[in-house]
Structure 1
Amino acid sequence: MTTGFHSTVTRRTFMKGLGLVATGSAALTSPVFHDLDELVSSSSSGWHRPWYIKEREFENPVLPIDWANQQRAPAWRISPFRYQSSTDPKAANVRDNGLKIATDWIKEKYPDWGKGQEIGFSGLKPGTVRDLALANAVGTISFYDFPGKANKTWYLGLQAAATPETLKIAKWQGTPEENIRMLRAAARFFGAQDLGVTGLTANTKKFVFEEETDKKKWIFGGSEPKETATERYIPDAAQWVISYTNIQSTELTPRQPSALGATATTNAYRHWPQIEVMLKEFLRGLGYYGLSGTSFSAVGPSNPWGLMSGIGEQQRMANVLISPEWGAHVRALSRMPTNLPLAPTPPIDFGAYKFCSTCKICAETCPYGSLSMGGPTSTPPVDQLGAEQAAARSDQAYTGWWVDYRTCAFCGACQGVCPFNSTKDAPIHDIVISTVANTPLFNGFFASMERNFNYGFKDPETWWDMDLPVYGVSPKFTGKVF
């Protein structure tokens, strides 16, 4: 949307245009608007969130899950990356022509992009020399092997912080509510944004990998953490799973699928293990522990934990969770079992799942045609995914959307054009998202507005001349989240 639109359309005019100031049936179906600055604070978790976000019952997200048929799965079988080497003709086409597809896609929208410069590539993502220099600079710094440098594994982390026992003091004792507020404060200090908690129950244990990519099995039980040559244990006392978000650059996200835009993802992944290492050491210093698998957070697929803990909703992009505060900028959603007593946070409903049924902008945008244009489905579609991929994912018993990983180049274009990425600096956006959260009546209209005002993909070249915020995260984006 343009600046003129922001400054000339009043709240009353906008709502009148939607029929929200009428009487009768239109008024009855419209949401009851509160003051746009109103925030609701949960007394149990200290999570300050906008008023229009509705909490649901535990283990009952908007995304329908068939708990009876949900099964634990081995990480290696459901990993999306295994399909990149598939012999399927669709996978081969992306490998052979992916760079050209992405380059043509960008130049169709910005014909002058890279004019007078030679276009190189990083993976299947094209860029100019300075784009690639930035991408490679970020990529050379990896913190993934932190524990390995200290001859440790990711399971318990560095184990370097002094424990209360070594300091000859009592371990931390707090209520579950106090503990989650304390943990959220620490996580935000370390660089995370939001933190939720899922209780480990008979149902949610089904989200824990049966075995990981290194073929070590996750075993429930025991009194203490233990890792052997073939197994990793989640002790009985570890009854909670911590999830936290790690936002990527809000200025680079809409510049995907270029190599420059991809640095938003790379940089976020650079921060992620740092946060996890510090959070584990913090827990150790309190007298507790946090667990990981063969790599950081490798306990189960990320989205289910974010979904169940209220961080966001599943949507058409499927493997990207949408947050009401952060949109589709969420990257590297963590999941860490712990024995620190915590107050679980419930799933939420802010209208994203319903909105995505109508919107389809991400699927229309995908350069590789990897996203479904259809509605939510409870079974992996063989015609879209291929028999092998559909069979491998058949133990994921939800009614939602599925990504065709044979053709997905992980370019991020879908993520960059999501309407929920809009900054919160213009009051009109609060009106839109609060309307979406309360009624799906205007979802088609809002999606059309998004297309007309062209909020999506931005010219990669323009990023270099911006007055950039620190880490590329716009301070206007979050409004009054904190």
Structure 2
Amino acid sequence: MPDQPNPRRPKRGTYSPKPETLELLRVSGNPINGLGEKTPRRPSPFFWHPPDQHPYGDLQVVARQSSRACPDSGPAFMAAYSYPELIPVAEEQNPASAEQLSAEATDFALSHEADAVGIAAMDPLYVFEGYTVEEPWVIVLGLAHNYERLKEVPSDETNGVGVVDIGDQYAKGTRSSYALANWIRSQGYTADPYPGPSASALVLIPPAIAAGLGELGKHGSLINSKFGSGVRLAGVTTNMPLVATGPSRFGADEFCATCQVCTRACPPGAISEEKQMVRGVERWYVNFDKCIPYFAETASCGICIAECPWTRPDVRPKLLTTMARRMAV
């Protein structure tokens, strides 16, 4: 029996932001994001950074209030801000090879709630302007959504299942990244964790792509070959000698070029049909000024990642087979 339409999702073109929400969108976010810029640069601090670093602090408050109004969401997100103290770096370093340390770090993360692990060399473009990361390596952790829960988004006061799952994955990312950072510190190397949902120094999607955790989707989120778009990210930076895992192409980018599912499902029509130039890179881009009012009003939305064909467990294996065949040709 096919799924019933989600009553909390307006059709594209029928949604209008509340006037009080639009008043808080005081400046366009697209120039801050670097839309149209032809020269590469580090990203500017943005949504979910401290409000003194960008113009959207009041919108962040609305977004948090919308999420917390949903049943059971408060404890789920509070768990994302609960973490152990970072231990001191051990004086004696593990002398194992970079290959062995990479394998041990990966095994540790996978046994401590991470669902996917990738390693990339640090790039200055992975660090927000105004922040500094000294470590030469970043380990990116993927935390997989529960699809049956995720597809309930967007959430509201009557149904918080979807946003609770979002909070749960961020909490897993906090626990997993802090556990890994402390394990690395116990081996005698520096390590700093970077979980969500609040943002800090590290941009997560670019190193995740470089580390082979997926490709950028038309909806602006990562598409992972095993979990589709239903994956959250956390990171750990370190000076531990490591070996990069390298990018992985499985056809998501090519598929997005013709797929219209997320574009049609987006109530505010924020998802662009074509790639655009953003900070010197031609890539998929979501219109911030259209997306964020709906995001703020509907408990973090999530429609595009839930509706993505790659996220559906019954569809993803067929897509992988089809795209592998096309790419081979």
Deviations 1:6-42 (A, max 9, x none): xxxxxxxxxxxxxxxxxxxxxxxxxxxxxxxxxxxxx
2:137 aligns with one of 201, 226, 240: 240
C-alpha distance in 1 between matches for 2:166 and 2:106: 23
Deviations 1:29-79 (A, max 9, x none): xxxxxxxxxxxxxxxxxxxxxxxxxxxxxxxxxxxxxxx931123324896
Superposed displacement of residue 336, structure 1: 2.4
C-alpha distance in 1 between matches for 2:129 and 2:56: 23
Trace 1:307-322 onto structure 2 (pairs within 5 A): 307-318=209-220, 320-322=221-223
2:264 aligns with one of 356, 360, 364: 364
1:355 aligns with one of 255, 262, 265: 255
Superposed displacement of residue 293, structure 1: 6.9
C-alpha distance in 2 between matches for 1:264 and 1:310: 24
C-alpha distance in 2 between matches for 1:207 and 1:196: 15
Trace 1:14-413 onto structure 2 (pairs within 5 A): 69-76=39-46, 123=66, 132-139=70-77, 141-144=78-81, 146=83, 158-160=85-87, 164-165=90-91, 170-200=92-122, 204-211=123-130, 217-218=131-132, 234=134, 238-258=135-155, 259-292=160-193, 298-318=200-220, 320-331=221-232, 333-372=233-272, 374-379=273-278, 396-408=279-291, 409=295, 410-413=300-303
Superposed displacement of residue 244, structure 1: 1.1
State the identity %.
23
Superposed displacement of residue 85, structure 1: 6.4
State the number of aligned residues.
278
Query: Per the alignment, in what secondary structure is the counterpart of residue 290 of structure 2?
Result: coil
Q: How has the CA–CA distance of structure 1 residues 206 and 124 changed in structure 2, closer, same or farther, with 3 Å as cutoff?
A: closer
Query: Per the alignment, in what secondary structure is the counterpart of residue 196 of structure 1?
Result: strand
Query: Per the alignment, in what secondary structure is the counterpart of residue 241 of structure 1?
Result: strand
Task: Say whether the 8 Å CA contact 2:67–2:163 is kept in structure 1.
Answer: no
Query: Per the alignment, in what secondary structure is the counterpart of residue 183 of structure 1?
Result: helix
C-alpha distance in 1 between matches for 2:269 and 2:57: 18
C-alpha distance in 2 between matches for 1:195 and 1:146: 20
Query: Per the alignment, in what secondary structure is the counterpart of residue 41 of structure 2?
Result: coil
Query: Per the alignment, in what secondary structure is the counterpart of residue 416 of structure 1?
Result: helix
TM-score by length of 2: 0.74
Query: Per the alignment, in what secondary structure is the counterpart of residue 245 of structure 2?
Result: coil
Deviations 1:410-462 (A, max 9, x none): 300111111111226xxx853432211331799xxxxxxxxxxxxxxxxxxxx
TM-score by length of 1: 0.52
C-alpha distance in 2 between matches for 1:402 and 1:255: 24
C-alpha distance in 1 between matches for 2:173 and 2:195: 15
Q: How has the CA–CA distance of structure 1 residues 290 and 398 changed in structure 2, closer, same or farther, with 3 Å as cutoff?
A: same
C-alpha distance in 2 between matches for 1:398 and 1:321: 16
Deviations 1:369-417 (A, max 9, x none): 2211x211225xxxxxxxxxxxxxxxx2221221122232130011111
Task: Say whether the 8 Å CA contact 1:80–1:405 is kept in structure 2.
Answer: no
Q: How has the CA–CA distance of structure 1 residues 441 and 287 changed in structure 2, closer, same or farther, with 3 Å as cutoff?
A: closer
C-alpha distance in 2 between matches for 1:299 and 1:355: 31
C-alpha distance in 2 between matches for 1:353 and 1:190: 30
C-alpha distance in 2 between matches for 1:173 and 1:250: 41
| Equivalent residue number for residue 17 of structure 1 | none
Superposed displacement of residue 328, structure 1: 0.8
Deviations 1:95-150 (A, max 9, x none): 8xx9xxxxxxxxxxxxxxxxxxxxxx961798xxxxx43323424x3342536xxx
Task: Say whether the 8 Å CA contact 1:297–1:336 is kept in structure 2.
Answer: no
Superposed displacement of residue 80, structure 1: 12
Task: Say whether the 8 Å CA contact 1:196–1:311 is kept in structure 2.
Answer: yes
The code of the aligned residue for 1:210 comes to E
C-alpha distance in 2 between matches for 1:359 and 1:125: 33
Task: Say whether the 8 Å CA contact 1:257–1:412 is kept in structure 2.
Answer: yes
C-alpha distance in 2 between matches for 1:350 and 1:80: 36
Q: How has the CA–CA distance of structure 1 residues 308 and 324 changed in structure 2, closer, same or farther, with 3 Å as cutoff?
A: same
Task: Say whether the 8 Å CA contact 2:116–2:213 is kept in structure 1.
Answer: yes
User: Larger RCO: Structure 1 or Structure 2 (Cα < 8 Å, ≥ 6 residues apart)?
Assistant: 2
1:430 aligns with one of 308, 317, 323: 317
Q: How has the CA–CA distance of structure 1 residues 173 and 324 changed in structure 2, closer, same or farther, with 3 Å as cutoff?
A: same
Superposed displacement of residue 338, structure 1: 0.7
| Equivalent residue number for residue 414 of structure 1 | 304
Q: How has the CA–CA distance of structure 1 residues 256 and 83 changed in structure 2, closer, same or farther, with 3 Å as cutoff?
A: farther
The code of the aligned residue for 1:407 comes to K
Query: Per the alignment, in what secondary structure is the counterpart of residue 281 of structure 1?
Result: helix
| Equivalent residue number for residue 453 of structure 1 | none
Q: How has the CA–CA distance of structure 1 residues 250 and 294 changed in structure 2, closer, same or farther, with 3 Å as cutoff?
A: closer
The code of the aligned residue for 2:306 comes to G
Superposed displacement of residue 343, structure 1: 0.5
Instruction: In structure 2, list runs of 5 or more residues that go unmatched.
Output: 3-37
